[in-house]
A and B are shown apart, each in its own frame.
Chain A
């Protein structure tokens, strides 16, 4: 599966925008383009593998320093260009390995780079840009926090190769002192541990699961199908609040995040007392 990382994202980026190369001055790992989406011109962003990247630990579709600052630059560029006009939708195509695990990255404060990108996406959202994350591959850990998790709405392909998680299977098993098999058994009982996108969908964080035929090879039919879903999600985001409250009010959240809702209600009650 790891050999495919970013390839699906690239194929769909190309299908949506007709382009497959980075903007001038950007590293080969970040694709950005504006393209028509319904009535809107939308900005699409995608991380792709870049075997020739300057940073050796960010060559296989990881989100590293250059990727993060490029995302931040391109999202802020859209905010600036639209500051007096209609706020264009921003679509983060998510098919990435994870954050980059390197010493160079740590030395150069990759946590700040990730924050700069997340800040840009959240700022766009708060300023009224509909921000949509379209997850079609792996969305793991810091990589997803940097690219996608600040979106108003998260869409995901209903496909076995789509994984949204805090850490990849082997590492999570190691750190929680379990075998991978034990982790998978637990995942079947406890939805938040599962690597199955259907279980993730139960948590109420996801706006919608999309059933797409042959997701590795976008066709005319599936592209217009997904475009329509994006347009619907954009309309839904425009009609909603600019925050992430929908992740707590969704049907799934009311069932699976009872503890969050109880803590929140109690905090609101005690905050005003005294």
Chain B
């Protein structure tokens, strides 16, 4: 019996979810191609958190690596879900926007530079409330400007998921890759329960949450592109395929007529069965887990 048959496949996986944001970003770029921009030793920190007796982080939870993926120029921007829930503050937002704008500038000058966003975020950092919301609007504007020239690819791996304003931003991406553990939605289950009552959404019902927001469902219904296994080389390979494909002919957020008709066809007298949307909304091929 060979070694490979004795050791189950999942033991050999290199979990991506267990990596921190910096290690995630590093694992996706071509070896030795990257360098970090505005690293922790530059100490560009949130000026607003110390005013509220909250310790800042020396990278503000946003890691930017410039380098190459599949030999093509790329910038990977990763949010650290373990710092303030990956939330967007003034500095993390400014880092992301600046990197997207520079990628757009290079792309316009003939050096097509793809942006990869690793999003683990609850959205606005409420301790930086109005600048948090403001920077998300700016991130969205910069993604849309870059998207005219080069792909913007979002990876949502878990465990935080991607919520709030950053879920809107994610939907502007050229491609979205998700693991089964990942979630994508505008309002988190707790927020819906709080605003609309437990009858509307029971936030303790984990199965319900993943049935609606989970990666398998989002890919299954066609609002995300590829379901990937929680394995760093697998995710890197999926990303390389997206880079090789290049820009999609039409971005999902431009498909207004199609989705308007999908919404018009919904029976709203009762809650919507998520599983049915996998048949009625899906435009392309069935979502299989990429191994």
Contact = CB atoms under 8 A, between A and B. Distances in A.
Interface of A: 54-57, 65-66, 69-70, 72-73, 76, 99, 101-116, 118-120, 122-123, 126, 141-142, 144-146, 149-150, 164-167, 171-172, 174-176, 186, 189-194, 200, 203, 205, 243-244, 247, 256-264, 266-268, 270-271, 274
A118 to B, nearest CB: 6
A112 B124 contact: no
B94 interface: yes
A99 B186 contact: yes
A166 B191 contact: no
B168 A115 contact: yes
A253 to B, nearest CB: 10
Contacts of A106: 185-187, 192, 201, 212-213
B181 interface: no
Give the dominant DSSP class at A's interface: helix
A113 to B, nearest CB: 7
A258 B184 CA distance: 32
Interface residues of B, number: 83
Contacts of B133: 141, 144-145, 149, 165-166
Given A171-B195, A193-B129, A142 B51 contact: no
B91 interface: yes
Interface string B10-37: 0000000000000000000000000101
Contact of A142 (B132, B186, B201): B186
Contacts of A113: 259, 263
B70 interface: no
A194 B48 CA distance: 13
Contacts of B252: 112
B285 interface: no
A66 B136 CA distance: 23
